[in-house]
Amino acid sequence: MNMAHAQSAPADASANALPEISVVSAGEQQSYKASSSSGATRTETPLMEVPQSVRVMTSQQIEDVGALRLADTVEYVSGITKLNDFGGTWDNFGIRGFSSTDMGFLINGFPGSRGYNPRRDTATVERIEFLKGPASAIYGSSEPGGTINIVTKKPQFTQKNVAELSAGSGGLKRATLDSTGPLSQNVAYRLNVMTEEGDTRNSMLSNRRQLVAPAVTWVINRDTVLNYEAEILRSSTPLDRGIINVRGVLGTLPRDRVLSEPSDGNMQLNSDTHQLTLEHHFSENWRAKFGASYKESSFDGYYTEAALSNPLAADNRTLNRTRTWRQLPSRDTSLQAELEGKFKTGSIGHDVLFGAEASQLWMNTEILRSANEPIDIYNPVYGTALLPVTNRTSSSDERQRVKALFVQDQISLSPQWKVLGGVRWDQYNQSVQTRAPSVSNTSQQQSAISPRAGVTYLPNDWSSYYITAGRSFRGNSGVDINGRAFDPQRSTAYEAGVKLQSRDEKLGANFAVYDITKTNVLTASDVAGFSVAAGEVRSTGFEADVFGQLDTHWRVSGNFSWDNARVTKDKTYAAGTRLANIPAYSAGLLAIREDALSNGDRYGVGGGVTYVGNRSGNTADTYTLPAYTTVKLLSYWQASKNVRVSLDVHNLFNRNYYTGSWGNLYVIPGTERTVVARVKIDM
């Protein structure tokens, strides 16, 4: 909650009436262009002044593309690619070449993806901030490619209720309710509810999700706001790794082929998140904020998958499988405190931020497997005897504890010159107890200094130029095949860019070049279930994003990226080996035209095109995922003041493509052509 967004009370209210709290202005909600970001600097800073590439996905764009998950938005942001999503059960993206599995996204500035988490739903999302480049100087342990900050919907003091119903040709059935309003003069609520089923690649597979997200804001007085919000998510979904490539050859199996046992049922994924923040303004220029976040998640169920060794027999049609039971619970607790002050030293302005954090993460892994159970990949027969899972292949407990202090100063030398400098100290403790295949206990303590510095030049009100550098630190989760804890990752990144905006500030563009070097990066091992530290990798590239309102009718979003992400030093892989699943080229274009019918009803028509270049299928770069282009059609009709009807067609030409891969065997097929109808009702 940022008090800078407080709106004035109604004109007929008393002089002591309390303000309405709003996350973003109404104008920004109806545009693809945001003017500021709280995630990039942990303060409300104009994006033109931030020496960093930041792409904000507004609520309008999320609605236009019909995004149900975070994964549905990334194809319209440069430098983001989909990676192995663990059978469709969690979020994993490559950002400038580096996987975002552990610290890939934040929820209102708190860690949101550590441990084992279901895929992020958009029902509670107000906007998504894609923060490119290292963020360790303010958020600590994180990837140098970038971080995603998800800003959730906040309570409002104006009553509003919105319901939406969706149905799709792929079996999708979904309903959401978003209700907000005052409970009293100084207390407001918000309640988001979602239920969903269907939308799987085969009728033998099923999917069910339910979400309840209550939030309460208490404006204690004009200077103090207390905010609480929760998200309770229940998901029953298959762990669907996809189909297999036959000795590196793709396209031999149809994309709806199921090679698991449907009778295994679904994985049960639960996630309970609670966040509490208290913000107080001592004066116009000084504020303090305290926050706490607690997240508990679980992940358990059966899945019959390829055996760990010799999965595909010599006949190239018999897949040796093993029935697997997994239990992956986690608990993540974070505390934050920060103090922001604005002042001047002579003619030089300062916006200083002091902060402290503490967090504790616990993760447990229990995996049991059965004896081999073969299946013919070309003529599968299901329903064979369900073998008992008696072989415990993984059993471990991991604890991570972090303490951190940071300071940041945004210096205004003049209206044209801005300087940002910051540094963070982290102390990271990790302990891992492994019980299978053998018993071992490992622990490590690391500390790191993560600085960043950047300079921005604004010659006029429509352009800015920046250069920035930063270092990152991240403690690797888990242990290697020998039960040893991984050394932490360290990286250095450099970036330079240009930001442009139209004079009416409705259209914007970002252009950036970057160079990132990272050591001890984890990549998939050819031994399933384990990772290796690849030594050193380097990612260099160029990105371009254009977004906003062309005129009164057209909203557009375009993106392009070139990313050269390769191994530079490693004992196993040759220098120059491409990082798995990272395309050299990718691009996207979204355009919506709005107008009115003769009777005054509003309508919108448009579409999106996305391109993903070829990618290395595995760490050893022994097979290639082919490039693909997909097209979607988008349309809506504002049938009345309160009713909006939408009809979207995804993968219009029914292209057969692969979004990612897992190791040497599995590839993830893209969804077939689907038609989705939505009805949105403002009540």
Check: CB of residue 134 under 8 Å from CB of residue 285: no
Q: What are phi and psi of 388, to 5 degrees?
A: -70, 145
Amino acid sitting at position 212: V
Res. 74: pLDDT tops 50? yes
Of 470, 443, 631, 559, whose CA–CA distance to 65 is shortest? 631
Q: What is the pLDDT of residue 102?
A: 59
Band of residue 52 on the pLDDT scale cut at 50, 70, 90: very high
Structure tokens at 31: 């545009």
Q: What's the N-to-C CA distance of the chain in angstroms? A: 26
Map 15-64 to HEC letters: CCCCCECCCCCHHHHCCCCCCEECCCCCCCEEHHHCCCCEEEECHHHHHH
Which residue's entry shows tokens 């050394």? 487
Kindly give the pairing relationship between strand 146-152 and strand 674-682.
Answer: unpaired
d(CA 408, CA 353): 5
Res. 11: pLDDT tops 60? no
- Number of structural domains in the chain: 1
Handedness of CA 474, 475, 479, 480 (dihedral sign): positive
Query: Taking residues 513-531, what's their average pLDDT?
Result: 76
Q: What are phi and psi of 61, to 5 degrees?
A: -70, -35
Res. 25: pLDDT tops 50? no
Q: What mean pLDDT, rounded, does the chain reach?
A: 90
Among residues of the chain, what percentage have pLDDT more than 90?
73
- Say how many C-beta atoms besides its own lie within 10 A of residue 673's C-beta: 16
Query: Taking residues 128-142, what's their average pLDDT?
Result: 92
Res. 343: pLDDT tops 80? yes
What pTM was estimated for this model as a whole?
0.92
Check: CB of residue 88 under 8 Å from CB of residue 260: no
Structure tokens at 278: 């208290």
Res. 197: pLDDT tops 70? yes
Q: What is the pLDDT of residue 26?
A: 46
Structure tokens at 653: 């030409």
Query: Taking residues 191-201, what's their average pLDDT?
Result: 93
Check: CB of residue 180 under 8 Å from CB of residue 191: yes
Of 112, 111, 145, 106, whose CA–CA distance to 129 is shortest? 106
Band of residue 519 on the pLDDT scale cut at 50, 70, 90: confident
Structure tokens at 631: 């097209």
d(CA 349, CA 355): 20
Query: Taking residues 580-588, what's their average pLDDT?
Result: 96
More confident residue, 438 or 296: 296
By CB neighbour count within 10 A (0-12 exposed, 13-18 middle, 19+ buried), where does 311 fall?
A: buried
Res. 229: pLDDT tops 50? yes
Sequence-ordered strand ranges (E) for 282-416: 286-306, 318-327, 330-345, 348-376, 391-412
Of 144, 134, 120, 265, whose CA–CA distance to 206 is shortest? 265
Structure tokens at 236: 């029953």
Q: What is the pLDDT of residue 534?
A: 61
Res. 114: pLDDT tops 90? no
Query: Taking residues 405-416, what's their average pLDDT?
Result: 98
Band of residue 31 on the pLDDT scale cut at 50, 70, 90: confident
d(CA 64, CA 557): 11
Q: What is the pLDDT of residue 527?
A: 64
Band of residue 653 on the pLDDT scale cut at 50, 70, 90: very high
Band of residue 680 on the pLDDT scale cut at 50, 70, 90: very high
Check: CB of residue 130 under 8 Å from CB of residue 150: no
Could you tell me the CATH number of the domain that includes residue 320?
2.40.170.20
Band of residue 3 on the pLDDT scale cut at 50, 70, 90: very low
**447-495 tens-digit pLDDT:** 899 999 999 999 999 999 999 999 998 877 666 677 666 777 889 999 9
Map 154-207 to HEC letters: CCCCCCEEEEEEEEECCCCEEEEEEEEEECCCCEEEEEEEEEEECCCCCCCCCC
Res. 160: pLDDT tops 70? yes
Cβ neighbors of 606 (< 8 A, separation 6 or more) are: 64, 555, 590, 591, 592, 593, 633, 634, 635
Q: What is the pLDDT of residue 602?
A: 93
Containing structural domain, residue 327: 3-682
Q: Number of helices (H) and strands (E) in the chain: give both, helices first.
A: 3, 40
Res. 29: pLDDT tops 70? no
d(CA 663, CA 87): 13
Any idea which of 2-16, 71-85, 137-151, 589-603 has the lowest mean pLDDT?
Answer: 2-16
Q: What is the pLDDT of residue 153?
A: 97
Band of residue 28 on the pLDDT scale cut at 50, 70, 90: low
d(CA 70, CA 413): 38
